[in-house]
Amino acid sequence: MKVLLPEILEMLWEVWEQNPGAEVYTGGTDLLVKLREGVTWPPALICLERINALRQIWEEEDTVVIGAGTPHTALIRHPLIQVEFPVLVEALKVLGSPPIRNMGTLGGNIATASPAGDSLPALYVLNAEIVLTDAKGSRTLPIHEFITGPGQTGLGPREIITGIRLKKTAPYTVSRYEKVGKRKAMAIAVASLATCLRLSPDGRIESARLAWGSAGPAIVTSPEIETAMSGQPLTPELLRGLIPAVEREVSPIDDIRATAVYRRKVAANLFLRLSGISEGGASA
Ligand SMILES: Cc1cc2nc3c(=O)[nH]c(=O)nc-3n(C[C@H](O)[C@H](O)[C@H](O)COP(=O)(O)OP(=O)(O)OC[C@H]3O[C@@H](n4cnc5c(N)ncnc54)[C@H](O)[C@@H]3O)c2cc1C
């Protein structure tokens, strides 16, 4: 199979025009598995890895823009990402194994749109915006609009993700990503929960963002639970009182990794564990 290696975006649009059926990839950790299993067999592949513009990280006032082709390891090690978005760093640290994190990229994880994708709950609680670019220009979509279902996105024909825009974290924000898998390492999530809580100086929750992974056909968020937490002190009683709402909101499935009943229980337990969140993960 032909593999094309453009080095700048202009070259990408040209080679794509000449090879209209070609599929793009970056790290290849998802795509090459699909090729090996015969799930997809395009006439040509276009590798985005050499396009330097896709691997940059920069600041624009109160926003950080991450190039979609940035590998997970580079993000985990980046001082700005560590300071501003600890929840994303925590999520990427438990994604796959070191070789997968060296090759796999944030854009690839988003485009795969798996409800078990580790970066996604973190990106949902950070209200990430996805920058999409084609030969004619760019547009931006909030992540919850970009991902339309399991494995489904709003990517247009001959369009790629070029960047991820994240607003810098407000003071007194605590965040956490927790994943339960079948094993400690190299495990796809049975269920996961990303949380971002903004606390007042007296410890009340000013605003809450929660996103569960592997708990439904897409990432599960709950405005109802977030509103119920606002203005309240973060106590075990508050969390216990909201468990029926958590169990209502998640809609997990049975699969080879776990039953729906077990996943629902794990999703609730991850929520209960938030009572200890202010002891770690604070970014003031
Ligand atoms: C052994 C193993 C373990 C894994 N463990 C985990 C895990 O624990 N958690 C987890 O979340 N994932 C896991 N994965 C999945 C995978 O590693 C990640 O999803 C990774 O982030 C994909 O990035 P990539 O650059 O390799 O994607 P690629 O394989 O290059 O691409 C994946 C898909 O995204 C599209 N794509 C890639 N880049 C772009 C772009 N810039 N714009 C538009 N579309 C694009 C491709 O067309 C393709 O459809 C694992 C994979 C393997 C093989």
pLDDT of residue 171: 85
Domain check: are 138 and 226 in the same one?
Answer: no
Q: What is the number of structural domains in the chain?
A: 2
What pLDDT, on a 0 to 100 scale, did the predictor assign at position 283?
45
| Ligand 1 center to 146 CA (angstroms) | 16
Cα angle 176, 25, 119; round to 5: 5
pLDDT tens digits for range 218-254: 999 999 999 999 999 999 999 999 999 999 999 877 7
The reply to whether 220 and 239 lie within a common domain is: yes
User: Which atom belonging to ligand 1 lies closest to the Cα atom of 155?
Assistant: 43
Domain boundaries, position 203: 173-283
**Which positions ≥6 away from 258 have C-beta within 8 Å?**
182, 190, 191, 252, 266
Question: Average pLDDT by consecutive 10-residue portion of the chain (284 residues)?
Answer: 96 97 97 92 96 98 97 98 97 97 98 96 98 98 97 97 96 93 70 96 94 94 98 95 95 78 92 79 43
- Which atom from ligand 1 is nearest to the alpha carbon of 54? 41
| 154 found inside a domain | yes
Output the pLDDT for position 183: 61
Q: What number does the ligand 1 atom closest to the CA of 24 have?
A: 47
Instruction: Note the pLDDT of residue 175.
Output: 96
Would residue 247 count as lying in a domain? Answer: yes
Residue 236 belongs to some domain of the structure: yes
For the entire predicted model, the pTM comes to: 0.95
Is residue 198 domain-resident? yes
How far from chain centre, in Å, is Cα 164? 10
pLDDT score for 56: 98
100 by Cβ neighbours in 10 Å (0-12 / 13-18 / 19+) ranks as middle
Ligand 1: centre distance to CA 109 (Å) = 4
Residue 137 CA to ligand 1 centre (angstroms):
24
**Ligand 1: which residues within 6 Å by Cβ?**
23-31, 33, 48, 68-69, 95-96, 100, 103-105, 107-109, 111-112, 117-118, 155, 160-161, 186, 188
Nearest to 242 by CA among 208, 282, 218, 219: 208
Q: Return the H-helix or E-strand segment holding 141.
A: strand 137-142
- Residue 18 C-alpha to ligand 1 middle, in angstroms? 25
